[in-house]
Amino acid sequence: MFEQKSKWVIHPARNLNATTRLFCLPYGGGTAHIYHSWPSQLPSWVEVCSVQPPGRGSRLNEPPFTNLNDLINMAADALKPFFDRPFVFFGHSIGALASFELTRCIQGRYGLEPLLLMVSGCRAPQIPYEGTPFFNLPETQFLAEVERLNGIPKEVLENAELMQLMSPLLRADFTLDQTYLYKEDPPLSCPIIAFGGLGDTIVSRDSLEGWRQQTTGAFSTKLFSGDHFFINTERQLLLQAISVAISTTVRSNEVPGA
């Protein structure tokens, strides 16, 4: 088995013997490093493939996408070589929306679908953005809105040099989310699990439940303590839930007697 290499995929821990791949897409302003610690807390037969879009981390010198369709079209081609074994998708916030559109894209383009789609901290795609868009506000107002989301450490927000580097990426990622236009298509057939935070003031329980409309397969939701960024504060419990979900899904797809 050859070892695929791509600037789109960062492997926190290579696992060439893995039988299932978990593709993880970052939230707004996030990098592939978000998922660096995940392999040690997941089943040994799962390989974490952390997706690194342009404009962040090792690809900081590349312009970030501001149109989700453009991002998905390029990502689908870049990730195709890694779909040589069963795989699942996970994304948080804008990463969840991207993982949904990526699933639809590869289904239509390659006839492939993940065993499972896990969406975290994200409203269902058919529900329009409910807030007032702020991606194009003046810098001071824009950063105030970013701070309100509570996803960036205070010491980073107060570091002018770091924020100067991060601001273009943050603007681009919020543009992806706040200008997204949902296109009606037949629902997916893979199961969907929607994760949410009990204290999340950005994504409501009803908007999580809306994901039910996007699949003819099984659907469930699971809520954790914490706000929109429970992915960080409740990481251990989230990874336990992800481990159970992947294991259950893989078992249900095994052919009896094979």
Q: Pick the catalytic residue from 40, 44, 50, 93.
A: 93
Whether 93 is a known active-site residue: answer yes
Kindly calculate the radius of gyration of the chain based on its CA atoms and give it in whole angstroms: 18
Residues tagged active-site:
93
